[in-house]
A and B are shown apart, each in its own frame.
Chain A
Amino acid sequence: MPLLLALENVELTVIKISSDQKTKQHLASLGVIQGSKITLLSKKLGNIIIKVLDGRIAINEDLARQIIVA
């Protein structure tokens, strides 16, 4: 499912990221790639905060829709 629809505070695995190459690269350098474990910490009017490794990353709604997790 898209990350936007995932439950909060549950460990998720990234299945696919369907954004442009540049964004993917940036996400990868922050630790968000296919197979990485992330946790959705909060949703705020569509924009979200996730925990990945030991960092907290804020992502806007459109991009959160492009990240598919399970």
Chain B
Amino acid sequence: MKFALAGNPNSGKTTLFNALTGATAHVGNWPGVTVDKREGSYKKLGEKIDIVDLPGIYSLSPYTPEEIVARNFIVDEKPDCVINIVDATNLERNLYLTTQLLEMDVPVVVALNMMDVVKKSGNEVNATELSKKLGVPVVELSALRNEGIHDVMKKAYEVAKENRKGHSVLETEDFYDLITKVEEKFVELGESSPLFKAIKIVEGDEALCAKYPQLVELIKSDKEKYKDNDFGGDFEGMVADARYRYITANYADTIKKIDKKTESKSDKIDKVMTHRIFAIPLFIVIMFVVFHLVFSEDLFFINGISKGNAGISGETAINVFTGMGYDDIYLEEMTGVITEKYEEDFGDEADDKLNSAISYVANKVNVELQAKGEEIRYDDIDNLALEDMEIEDLQELLVYSGGDVEEVNPVIGIPSPGVFLQSWMGFVTGKLIDLGAMISETWPAWLSGLLCDGLLSGLDAIFSFLPQILLLFLFIAILEDSGYMARVAFIMDRAFRGLGLSGKAFIPLLMGFGCSVPAMMATKTLEEEHERDMTIRLTPFFSCGAKAPIWAMLAVAVAGSFLGDIFVFSIYLLGIVVAIISALLIKAFGKVKEVPPFIMELPAYHAPQFKNLMAHLWEKLKHFVYKASTIITAAIVLIWFLSNFGWAFWQGMVGIEDSILASLGRVLQYIYYPLGFTWGSEGWKYSVATITGLIAKEDVVATMATLGITEKTIALSNAQIYAFASYNLFTLPCFAAIGAAYGDSSKKGFWITLLWWLGCSYVVSLIIFWLGYLFEHVLVVGIIVALLLVATIILLFVYTAKKRKKVLAN
């Protein structure tokens, strides 16, 4: 047997589905979480029963794509019973759908959900009375608390064995003879649910009218009679009106309302959350706190604000337990102390003195090691930098220079939960890599290379970010489950309308700062295809977490490293600006498509459910691991092969300079030539890095490191660095994101999106590089060109606004 769960959005279908089948489907407190039907099975009735969870629908006249899925299922697949979940806190509105379901020839059980909330507010719903009036069983239920779910199934099982004939609440209406007329024809045709289909024909339902034009013709003249009534002959309006009138007249007295306040608790919260002035600042603060908790290395800026006086120093328990990578911080502090000391002591001669001191200590270490019969530690003493020395040797250097090692006590902040988890994850994956190296020591070189340099370090780069990503999802799930996200869509709608998007598109884009993959999957709730395509196209421009290491590395390399934070900030800003310009361009040169009106039910706020949150995270984790273990692993193996073998790969491994990857990189180098960052003999390495970024954006930095380019050795001008950064920001995202884009775009939209990413990255980098080049060499011309560009963008704004007005006026 097959039972379908149907009901209004956000009425608790998925919660019931999870309770019945033991699944962990994502439940959220905003309409449209279930975007496709889902199947599971219920086994407690002796017979295995298939349960189908349908997307939420307000009526059987479909509006969004997911509503079409739901209606088609009930009409075409003929389930043995429809369990209609009704939100008892908004009974009249929910019964609107029920009256339509009852018109079909299918057994129906009404499940009154959220009865606990109704009772808590002191209201009452008389289920027995309602059952009598509806003519189908009504069962009380609290899906969230697992109350009554088996009663629903038992009832459904009982009625599923009998046939039910559809009946309508419209019987007393004067236009009912039209319905009877069409119904008779459907009976003659031997169609299923003739009553339901007849009503839809009279209403003028698009899909059915197109299928049976002869029946539309049949009642055309009869319809004329109603042309001048209150509804001006709009049968859809008449039918809807009749339904609501019937519901109010007949079912309203099954509800006893004690709680008569018009303003609920949710309304009070909304007074603040959707306030005309505070709403947006509040939202920014909330999001900032979330990002701060996930990404900050100095929680609540305790150290920043107290200027280090908070006393959280390197040796405190906090840092030991948080696994903050104390050595790195210590190393940085140590080199800083030494450099400063030399500058103070020797002024202009500091560099020479420091270099001779480095040579002295390095030499000494090498000699000592040789005396013990071990390998020397420092090969190239003439070019040795402080940063490349071991901690113990630096300590010796400081003592040699007359400094005090005790004084080096770096101050670091309390890490945010996100950074804390990431540090430990990095610690664990680091140990796994060590373990891999140990195990594979005796293996052939190619095999151990594949395991350690290929698989393990590749997966490490990805998995070390997993805790942060999950934590970000947890916070977003809390915002979703509480009901706040629906408000955010509402708040942002106005600004987005100017870009050809509705407010609903904001949530996916925001998620893009975390990871593009779930962000793109979240576009399923958007009504129009062109809106989904556009949102997916813009998502990667919101710099994701995996791209952050690239910016961090380049920030050090930008001349005058005090500009590092401004550099990173400007990259994020650049992404948003280019996203806005992209949307405008697509709007200016594409067909103007109307943004659908924003109509969204705002669910009541409620405290997030722990079970829901965990189920949500579990789903995300499963998805992540699945992706990592399939497509990403395959890509890692491929890149490893390409970078370790030459074209004559049967002759064994070669150095990376002679690898297939290098030769491909040298070809790409010329394609990238106009963008500046591949100039010079090292240029091919940068072009290769942009390609390995396809596996995961973290690989950009990893690849450059393998090829011998670190933040210290980048020999690019600022213009080249900017061009390289923007190329990586706008180019094709990682394979996982491309896969998600493929899954959720229209076929045509997907290819345009790919071209858009490639084109955008090339053009933006080109502009940035040459603009920067002009600024560095001929300042005046640079300023003129920059102003021209800004003027063009402003004109574009004006042009699209005019075009939109013109089209909408027609």
- Judge whether B59 and A25 touch: CB under 8 Å: yes
Asked if A13 lies at the interface with its beta carbon under 8 angstroms from chain B, I say: no
* Measured CA separation A62–B602 after assembly (Å): 19
For A46, the closest partner residue in chain B by CB is B494
Interface residues in A19-62 by Cβ distance below 8 A to B read 19, 21-31, 33-36, 39, 41-47, 49, 51-62
User: Contacting chain A: which of B268-276, B403-411, B455-463, B626-634?
Assistant: B268-276
Asked if B244 lies at the interface with its beta carbon under 8 angstroms from chain A, I say: yes
Instruction: Please judge, given known A-B contacts A51-B262, A55-B93, A58-B490, whether A41 and B270 are in contact too, CB under 8 Å.
Output: yes
Instruction: Please judge, given known A-B contacts A26-B599, A28-B237, whether A39 and B262 are in contact too, CB under 8 Å.
Output: yes
- Judge whether B601 and A30 touch: CB under 8 Å: yes
Asked if A12 lies at the interface with its beta carbon under 8 angstroms from chain B, I say: no
For B257, the closest partner residue in chain A by CB is A54
State the main secondary structure of chain A at its contact with B. Answer: mixed
Size of chain B's interface in residues, with CB distance under 8 A?
A: 47
Partner of A33, one of B97, B241, B601: B241
- Judge whether B270 and A57 touch: CB under 8 Å: no
* Measured CA separation A26–B240 after assembly (Å): 11
Contacts of A34 in B (CB 8 A): 230-231, 237, 241
Instruction: Please judge, given known A-B contacts A25-B236, A49-B490, whether A57 and B274 are in contact too, CB under 8 Å.
Output: no
For A57, the closest partner residue in chain B by CB is B601
- Judge whether A24 and B597 touch: CB under 8 Å: no
Instruction: Please judge, given known A-B contacts A44-B275, A54-B92, whether A28 and B59 are in contact too, CB under 8 Å.
Output: yes
- Judge whether A44 and B276 touch: CB under 8 Å: yes
Partner of A24, one of B237, B487, B603: B237
Contacts of A35 in B (CB 8 A): 241
Asked if B598 lies at the interface with its beta carbon under 8 angstroms from chain A, I say: yes
Asked if B568 lies at the interface with its beta carbon under 8 angstroms from chain A, I say: no
Contacts of B490 in A (CB 8 A): 44, 47, 49, 58
Contacts of A24 in B (CB 8 A): 234, 236-237
- For B466-510 the 0/1 string (1 means CB < 8 A from A) is 000000000000000000001100110110010000110000000
- Judge whether A58 and B599 touch: CB under 8 Å: yes
Partner of B236, one of A28, A36, A45: A28
Contacts of B89 in A (CB 8 A): 54
* Measured CA separation A13–B628 after assembly (Å): 56
For B487, the closest partner residue in chain A by CB is A58
Size of chain A's interface in residues, with CB distance under 8 A?
A: 39
Contacts of B279 in A (CB 8 A): 44
Partner of A63, one of B91, B597, B603, B604: B597
Interface residues in B654-713 by Cβ distance below 8 A to A read none
- Judge whether A9 and B262 touch: CB under 8 Å: yes
Partner of B598, one of A36, A43, A59: A59
* Measured CA separation A29–B241 after assembly (Å): 10
Partner of A19, one of B270, B493, B597: B597
Instruction: Please judge, given known A-B contacts A25-B236, A58-B598, whether A44 and B96 are in contact too, CB under 8 Å.
Output: no
* Measured CA separation A55–B11 after assembly (Å): 12
Contacts of A52 in B (CB 8 A): 93
Contacts of A56 in B (CB 8 A): 266-267, 270, 601-604
Contacts of A53 in B (CB 8 A): 90, 92-93
Asked if B63 lies at the interface with its beta carbon under 8 angstroms from chain A, I say: yes
Asked if B58 lies at the interface with its beta carbon under 8 angstroms from chain A, I say: yes
* Measured CA separation A42–B268 after assembly (Å): 11
* Measured CA separation A41–B270 after assembly (Å): 10
For A66, the closest partner residue in chain B by CB is B597
Contacts of A45 in B (CB 8 A): 276, 494
For A54, the closest partner residue in chain B by CB is B90
For A59, the closest partner residue in chain B by CB is B599
Interface residues in B37-61 by Cβ distance below 8 A to A read 58-59, 61
- Judge whether B59 and A47 touch: CB under 8 Å: no
Contacts of B601 in A (CB 8 A): 30, 55-58
Contacts of B603 in A (CB 8 A): 56
* Measured CA separation A58–B494 after assembly (Å): 12
* Measured CA separation A59–B602 after assembly (Å): 10
Asked if B600 lies at the interface with its beta carbon under 8 angstroms from chain A, I say: yes
Contacts of A25 in B (CB 8 A): 59, 61, 63, 236, 240
* Measured CA separation A54–B121 after assembly (Å): 13
- For A1-19 the 0/1 string (1 means CB < 8 A from B) is 0000000010000000001
Instruction: Please judge, given known A-B contacts A23-B599, A34-B237, A47-B494, whether A55 and B63 are in contact too, CB under 8 Å.
Output: no
Instruction: Please judge, given known A-B contacts A30-B93, A42-B270, A45-B276, whether A59 and B61 are in contact too, CB under 8 Å.
Output: no
Partner of B63, one of A9, A22, A58: A22
Instruction: Please judge, given known A-B contacts A31-B93, A58-B598, A61-B494, whether A41 and B276 are in contact too, CB under 8 Å.
Output: no
Interface residues in B285-324 by Cβ distance below 8 A to A read none
- For B86-121 the 0/1 string (1 means CB < 8 A from A) is 000111110011000000000000000000000000
- Judge whether B237 and A60 touch: CB under 8 Å: no
Contacts of A9 in B (CB 8 A): 262
Interchain residue pairs with CB less than 8 A apart (7): A19-B597, A26-B599, A28-B237, A29-B58, A57-B599, A59-B598, A59-B599
Binding site for B on A (CB under 8 A): 9, 19, 21-31, 33-36, 39, 41-47, 49, 51-63
New A-B contacts (15) at CB < 8 Å, excluding given A28-B59, A44-B490: A9-B262, A26-B599, A29-B61, A33-B240, A35-B241, A39-B262, A42-B276, A45-B494, A47-B490, A53-B92, A56-B603, A58-B486, A60-B599, A63-B597, A63-B599
Nearest first, the 3 A-B pairs at minimum CB distance are A29-B58, A29-B59, A60-B598
